[in-house]
Structures are given as structure tokens and as C-alpha cells.
Structure 1
């Protein structure tokens, strides 16, 4: 039998041309593109050119992930640093989109930066839920996924939660003590969201809920369509700008990495989606002190450890005012994703956060 590599396997080894890459859901993206460029044929042409370029661009081979040291259901705990006698630092991403936003590429990885700075850094990968996980809500992700994995560490870790991962980190800290906790762009006080955004999200969930209830999960496309609807003009404009990005440039590589991340990700369990849309967005349960885990109310003000809330005044996804009130707060002027992967992220977020972690034993 001929064991020489096929063209397909060779392409995978060298990088992924992957013509199937594209915004999800693509029909909705095309609808938005057509609507937003009505009366502007030049912008329409450039946006389509950017879309085609994105779909056909060759992707580099992904950087190797950290070493798995624990798992709980589909979730895994990946180690990026090395044991150093100090407190481990566990980074908890959102349930929405893949965890790779914190390890996007060799040059845009908060996890690799933290490991290089001497922290024993870990990343939670929530994995893909199965049909049997439909009843696991946000509280269950804390009790059945996060806490069992943290128990495998040699000593209690410092928690760093990004976006919804910050909300879940606060839930874990309400149940057991940790040396310190930091949140990055974490939604907590949902009454601080613009009323138009809350109405949009409510309508999105009302339309999607019957289907999600039948299938037992919330497809990533439901969530992505909500993000696009918040700023459709920007969604199309960035593809038009990408059409002009020089081939092989850092700008091109960054766009591909971020968009592939944004268009990827597993579904949410049905119960987690219901909690997010009904209890959090519609009911502001967390902001009103009504979110409980195992009968324990989650109250950030009651945390008996150093705590830091990092928010951004230009965050379109989680407004600065929606963050939790912790002992310290730091305000940035970077976008929701840009603060962790953008050009200014290293100076404005990674390095100050590393110093804060070191000051608290991490």
C-alpha cells in the first residue's frame, strides 16, 4: 500500500487552506452584509472580497495546547506553566466560543505570557457538552466541572475569569476559599446593559428557545447572531478592511486567528443557556444577589480574599458598569476581545495582571 501523504494530509501538515471557514451562520452574515451595504456598492464589493479572502486563506498549524492534568465530563484543565512552589493561577474562559482566545497564537497568548513570567498557569477548556448534559446549568458548571478539576491541583489556585468565566469564578469563590480572584470583562450587573441590547437579547432567546429546548442545547450560531446584531455595521466593515490587509502581514494573521475563534465553539447546554438569558440577562439574578449555587448566594462583596475587577470603557459586549464590584477595579480603553489579544493587551492587561498575581502569591 502506498503510504505517501495525500494532498489533503500534506495541506493539514503544512497549514489549513480550509475553504469551509466562514462566518457562522453564513446565511445571516450574508443578509447583514447585503443590508448594511445597500447604496454603497464599493463597500459591498470590498466586504465580499474580504469574505472570500478569509474563507480561502491558509491557516498555520495550531500551537500545541497545554498538558491536561485533570478532567470533569468534557471539561479539561490544561497546564501551561510549571510548578514553582507558589499558588497556581487558573484562567477560566467563557462558555461562549473556544478557550483559545486566551492562547490564540504564539505571539498573542496571555497563557504563554503568564507562563514565561514564571506563573504556574492553567487554562480551563470546557469542551463540548453531550445530550446527557442538557440539565447542567451555570451552577452545575461550577459544581460538576470547575471545582472537581481545581481539586486536582496541589494547592488552592488564584482564579482569573474572562467574560462569563469571571461570573463562574465568582460562583466557585462563593463555595470555597481561594487565595485571590480577578475578573476580566465579567458580566455581573445586567441592569447596566443598554436597554436596547437587553431587548435584542430577549427577542433572540424567545425565538430560539423552543428549538433549543427540543434539541437540548443552544447552538453557537444563536449566540453569534446576537453579537452581530449589536453592531452590524462593524461586523461588515472589518471584513472590508481585511480585504486590504497585506498578505502574510501580522494584521492578516491576527484577523484570521480572531475570526476563526469567534466563529468557533461548542454549544451551551440548554440549562446554561436558559440561566444566561432568563436569570442573568432578563432577571439580573447575579446583580441582585439572587444567583445561588447549592443554596449559597453568590455575593462578590462577601469574598474574603484579594479581588480585582478589570473592565473596559469601550467594551461593546460587556459594558464597564456591568462588572462586579470587587475590592479593586481597573479600567481600560480596549475592546472586549482586544483587551486580551489586541496589540495593546500585553502592556495594558497582561503585564499589570502578572504583577498583581505575583503580589498575591501567584
Structure 2
């Protein structure tokens, strides 16, 4: 599960399979160009994953404690963010007055961004520590951060945390997994997809078991197998509509923009403040399915070559993050964050999106700091014992 090359092949293989089932009228015939692209990149990822398999073995290193002040900072920023909103989304969710579109339309404040991103990072970090240490202190920091995300009531951050923790657990227990474990995992995944649909129904103001909204808008009439509960229409739409939009984009002529193509690999917070930055606007089949996977920006800025160049730059970015964590106690967590970015790339540009990419960037910065501090301590230790003259001889 830590080998993101294998995960790339699995994720896009599943998305392609679901798309080609044709259960939605929005899923048009897939372009031969995309079939070739995904076939080539899935094969390359499998080959790279096999070649570098030894680099993704789970190690039992324990992370340093997450400072209490950091947890408090994230929670205080969250409280300020709720005050700026004027309400707590979870409470509106409970009394059926929750308006998700209102939350989307409102420009997120710096406090809310710090709180959500920090909580996603902190949940993954503390869970990684807890699974090694089994200390109550780690759980005491994990629970408030998770509860904040629940109060925020956005499915994205919760599922990102869940996927990260799931990767860590599976990687740690890989050698001891039994058939029963695989069966339980499959049941949990199916339940999570069903719950995703239930939350979607509630979010749009329907009863938990009324999927008529997504059934109509998703174009499932007459195509969806009736033996599958309609709650799963939400997951199917979220998994395949980004690829459908990418497929739709290929029918448009694009204007080459090499600079913004490079911006596609920088943190969003930084990129949108740089000169000549243009907010990506991928063509959409319908306005309510408004995401188009990680590949759309690459295509819009560099045409078809952008897909292949983008794939290579993704690898370079992931390997850079791994390099930052190599030799530190955070290797396992960094691999989990990288794998999470690859998993959610079907939905958005997860390599720059705050809740998906920033945890890896934050951890990379921490690893560099740890390495520099360790090197400084080593040099001080040697200098204190007059080793330097001996080395010069």
C-alpha cells in the first residue's frame, strides 16, 4: 500500500473499468488517445513499482511527538473559522439546514485553511504514531483534530484522513493479513462508498435513502443496474465524471501556456500569487460535475504532450518528497501521503490541492529540519571532541 506506483495502476485501472461499464449517459465513448495514455502509464507504473519495490517496505520507526502547541493552533484557528462563518456546519447538518453550496461559495479564510489542512496533517501524523506506540497521549491529540473535521462536515477531508490511515494500517499488517482481513477490508470499503452516498443525499436536502437527485443528474436512468442500491450512484459519479470531463476536453482546441503548466506543480497558495497565473477552467459537460482529474490542467496548458510530461513530473515530485523523508523516522508517513495524493488524482490536481498535497509538503519541511538539526548536533559533537583536526589530516 505504500508503493504509489502500484496504487496508480490500481486506481486508474478501476476508474477506467467503471467508466467503460457505461452506467451513466454522461460517460461518452472514451478517446483512443486516453486509452493509449492510460495503458502506457499504467504499464510504466507497474514496471517502476516492481523495480523499486524494496524502497516501499514498511519500517517501524517512531515519529517524534507532535507539539501540543501545534494541535492547539489548529483547533484555535478552527474556532475562529467557525466564528467567521457564523455557524458550525455539523449542527446545521443535524437539523437539516446545512447548505453545502453556501460553504463552497464563501471564500475560505486563512484560519479555516490552517485548521482544515492542519487537522488532516495532524490526524495522519498522530495515527501513524499511535499505531506504533499505542499511547493514550497520541489518541488524545488525534481525537480533537478528527472531531474538528467532523464538525466541519465536508466529506473530502474526512475521506482523505481515512484513506491515509487505511494505507498505514494495511502497510503495517501486510505480512500478517489473513483472508478474513481482506474480507473485512472489502466490506468496509463498500460501506464507506454507501455512506458517501447517504451523506450526499442528506447534503442536498433529501432523506438519507432518497437518491433521486443524483440518479437524475448523473444520467443513470435506464442504465444503472437496479440490483445495486442507488446510494452508490454518488460514488460512481465522483469516480467517473472527472474522466468524462477530461474526455470531453479533448474535443477543444487549447492554447499552449508553458508557464501555467509549470504552475500546475506548485502549491496552489503560491502559484496563484505568481505573475501571469491563470485560474484553470476545464470544459465541463455539465456544470454540477465541475472537476476534471489531475490531467485536465496539463492538457489545457500543453495539449496532449502535457499528459505524458505531466506524468513524468508527477513522478519527479513524488520522488522528491520521498527523498526529503529518506533516512528519517517519517518515511512511512511520507509514503502514505504520496499514495493518498496518487489515489485522489482521479478527482483533482491532488499534487497542489491544500488538503491533499500540503500534508506531504509540511512533512517534507519537517524532515529537512530534522536532518539539518541532526547534522548540526553531529558537527557540534565532533567539534567538542577535537575530531576536526584529525579529519583534516
Q: Same fold (TM over 0.5)?
A: no
Q: Identify, as 1 or 2, the structure richer in strand.
A: 1
Q: Identify, as 1 or 2, the structure richer in helix.
A: 2
TM-score normalised to structure 1 length = 0.32
TM-score normalised to structure 2 length = 0.30
Higher alpha-carbon Rg: 2
